Amino acid sequence: MIEKGKCPICGKTNQCAITLGEEPSTCWCMTTKVPKDLVSNIPDEFRNISCVCRECVKNYNKKVCVVGSLNVDHVLDVKNFPKPGETIKASKLSTFFGGKGGNQATACSKLGLTTSMLGSVGSDGHGNSYIEHFTNMGVNTNLIHQSNISGQAFIQVDQEGENNIVTIGGANYDLSIQWIDDHLEEILEHDVFLFSLEIPQDLVLYLMEILEKHHKLIILDPAPFANFHVKMLDYTDYITPNNSEYEQIKSYLKPSHHVIVKRGEKGSKYIHNEISINIPPYPVKAIDTVGAGDTFNAAFCFALVFNYTIEDALMTSNIAGAMATTKPGAQTGMPSLQELLRIRYK
Separation between Cα atoms, residue 291 and residue 229, nearest integer Å = 23
How much is the pLDDT for 324? 94
pLDDT for position 21: 58
The mean pLDDT value for 237-262 works out to 97
Q: In this model, does residue 225 exceed pLDDT 90?
A: yes
pLDDT digits (tens, 9 = 90+) for 66-92: 999 999 989 899 999 999 999 999 999
Q: Which long-range contacts (CB under 8 A, 24 or more apart) does 236-243 make?
A: 236/195, 236/208, 238/300, 238/304, 240/296, 240/297, 240/300, 242/293
Write down the pLDDT at residue 167: 83
Q: Say what the pTM is.
A: 0.90
Q: What is the pLDDT of residues 122-147, one digit of tens each?
A: 999 999 999 999 999 999 999 999 99
Encode pLDDT of 156-184 as tens digits: 989 887 888 888 999 999 999 999 999 99
Q: Which amino acid is at 312?
A: D
CATH T-level assignment (fold) for domain 62-70+100-148+170-344: UDP-N-acetylmuramoyl-L-alanine:D-glutamate ligase (3.40.1190)
Q: Is the pLDDT of residue 18 over 60?
A: no
Q: Which of 174, 202, 294, 312 is the catalytic position?
A: 294
How many helices (H) and strands (E) are present in the chain, helices listed first? 11, 13
Q: How many CB atoms lie within 10 A of CB 157?
A: 24
Average pLDDT, the chain: 91
Q: By three-state DSSP, how is residue 144 classified?
A: strand
Strand partners, 152: 72, 168
Residue 55: pLDDT band with limits 50, 70, 90: confident
Asked if 155 and 290 touch (Cβ cutoff 8 Å), the reply is yes
CB 10 within 8 Å of CB 308? yes
Taking only the tens place, the pLDDT of each residue in 235-246 is 999 999 999 999
Report the pLDDT value the prediction gives residue 30, as an integer from 0 to 100: 59
pLDDT tens figures, 287-327 = 888 889 999 999 999 999 999 999 999 999 999 999 999 98
Give the model confidence (pLDDT) of 304-315 as tens digits.
999 999 999 999
294 in active site: yes
Residues of the chain with CATH 3.40.1190.20: 62-70+100-148+170-344
